[in-house]
Homo-oligomer: A and B are copies of this chain.
């Protein structure tokens, strides 16, 4: 029995071992030397199995959202699994109209994963949380044998407060509503594809996209700016996995409406557009991690666009379509060539492990 406290972790060359997940002293050391210094807050410092948080304001309702993050590669232009795990879950809370407050983080580490990489990921999570003004208040760490995981998976759960009277969800779209997007589509998906091609030593058209970085960002500031104006917001949603195509179909089904999008109005970076054309991909299905779909009454859309354009995350915002009455819940798009096409859910098997 080793009664001495082991020496400090070797954060430069050390690796995750199975014992780090056993719940004893090695687990305490991993948490104490990697996570605690970065996440640093009173709740984690208490060292209990859960975090006791303040009461919400009177009549505020609690919003909970959770996401498992399995993105590959772990590090990519514009972010990493750490920042993504913070942004993604903050955004799922924020699109309900709620103020994100706290995050819980559960880690599944693969035996042999470099501690230096884990430290870098924890640092990135802490920075993303700090920028967003929220705290990572509780967590858990498990370790699986080499070959039973893939470096690190992170499940984050966000809790936030929803003001009285506010009701924003996917079922709120009404025929006639305007459909807005907060910026260019496909940046995250293309950045991940490009990173994978680079790892595999491929070029295959990806040269088009080598300047593209992930848009991973927390959207709650942008959403707060929209809410502050009092504009009636019927639906907010971040078009992540499955891209805009999946998101508009989800909303159409939840609301029992159709949509008509206008291809020429949808903002796409030239590099993303060129790479999509070369690779035969559709930007409608590429993932985004810092974009927002807004559905609001048509008479409010100019005011909403003005708010979006005044915010760094909304400067390329555009009105891209309208909600129409359609009991079949079809989403269609006017193409640049003047025709119409169906915008269905994901067309086949695009990209696994995008987030």
Q: Which residues of A contact B (CB under 8 A)?
A: 1-3, 18-19, 21-28, 46-56, 58-70, 91-93, 95-96, 98, 102, 104-108, 137-145, 147-150, 153, 155, 157-160, 162, 167, 169-171, 237-238, 240-242, 245-246, 249-250, 253-254, 285, 287, 342, 344-353
| Docked CA distance A348–B3 (Å) | 10
Query: How far does the Cβ of A52 sit from chain B's closest Cβ, in whole Å?
Result: 5
A-B contact pairs, 24 of them (CB 8 A): A18-B352, A21-B353, A22-B346, A22-B351, A23-B246, A23-B287, A24-B346, A25-B346, A46-B169, A47-B254, A48-B95, A49-B237, A50-B63, A51-B65, A52-B62, A53-B61, A53-B64, A55-B56, A55-B60, A64-B138, A64-B159, A66-B155, A68-B107, A68-B155
Query: How far does the Cβ of A142 sit from chain B's closest Cβ, in whole Å?
Result: 5
Query: How far does the Cβ of A158 sit from chain B's closest Cβ, in whole Å?
Result: 7
A25 touches B138 (CB 8 A): no
Which DSSP category, helix, strand, loop or mixed, fits chain A's interface? mixed
- In the A-B complex, the 4 residue pairs with the smallest Cβ-Cβ separation, listed nearest first, are A24-B346, A23-B241, A50-B65, A155-B155
Query: How far does the Cβ of A64 sit from chain B's closest Cβ, in whole Å?
Result: 5
Q: Which of A98, A147, A242 is most buried by chain B, counting CB atoms within 10 A of its CB?
A: A242
Copies of this chain present in the complex amount to: 2
Which residue of the partner chain, among B22, B46, B48, B241, contacts A22 with CB atoms under 8 Å? B241
| Docked CA distance A351–B22 (Å) | 7
Q: Which of A18, A66, A95, A167 is most buried by chain B, counting CB atoms within 10 A of its CB?
A: A66
The interface residues of chain B lying within 8 Å CB-to-CB of A108 are 68, 70, 108, 153, 155
The interface residues of chain B lying within 8 Å CB-to-CB of A25 are 246, 249, 345-346
Query: How far does the Cβ of A262 sit from chain B's closest Cβ, in whole Å?
Result: 20
Query: How far does the Cβ of A189 sit from chain B's closest Cβ, in whole Å?
Result: 11
Query: How far does the Cβ of A168 sit from chain B's closest Cβ, in whole Å?
Result: 9
B144 touches A345 (CB 8 A): no
Query: How far does the Cβ of A315 sit from chain B's closest Cβ, in whole Å?
Result: 24
CB-nearest residue of chain B relative to A1?
B347
Which residue of the partner chain, among B58, B96, B347, contacts A49 with CB atoms under 8 Å? B96
Q: Which of A24, A48, A50 is most buried by chain B, counting CB atoms within 10 A of its CB?
A: A50
